[in-house]
Amino acid sequence: MEKESNKFLKVTGILMIIGGAFGIIVGIIAVLGVGVLALALGAEANMGLLMAGSVLVLISAVVSLIAGIIGVKNAAVPEKAKTCIIFGIMTAVFAVLGSTLSVIGGQKFNVASLIIGLGLPALYLIGAFQNKNLGDTKESESIVQ
C-alpha cells in the first residue's frame, strides 16, 4: 500500500524552499553589501547591527530552505512530523527575531510585516501537525487490529 502524502505540508514546504532560496540570495547580497559599506566608510563605520541583521536574514533563509526540504521529503512520513514541527517553530522564531531587530534598529513596529512573516511558517506548522495526527491515527488503528 502506497503511503498517502500530506499535500498541505508538501505545498507549504515547496513555498518555503522557494522563499529560502530567494532569502539566501538576498542574504548573501546583504552581507557582502554591508562589508563593502564598512570598507568604504572606514573606521568610523559602526555596522554591527546592520551586519547582525544581514546574517540573521541569511541564517533564517537557510533554516527556511531546510524546513521546506524536510517538509517536502517527509510529507508522506508521519513519523518525521516532529522534525517538521521543530523546523517550523525555528522559522517562526526567526520571523519574530527579524521584527525585533528592526525595532531595535530604529524602525517603527510593523504588525503587518510580522503577520506576513509568520504566515507561511504557521501554515507549514499546520501541515506538520496534520502529518503528526495522521501518524497517530494510523498508529492507533494498528493497535486496534
How does the average pLDDT of the chain come out, rounded?
86
Whether the per-residue pLDDT at 140 is higher than 60: the answer is no
Whose CA is closest to 59, among 94, 92, 35, 84? 94
Whose CA is closest to 21, among 60, 65, 86? 65
Per residue in 22-42, pLDDT tens? Answer: 999 999 999 999 888 888 887
Write the burial class of residue 145 (CB in 10 Å: 0-12 exposed, 13-18 middle, 19+ buried).
Answer: exposed
**Domain range annotation of the chain:** 7-22+57-136
**Band of the pLDDT at 1, cuts 50, 70, 90?**
very low
Q: What is the DSSP letter of 1?
A: -
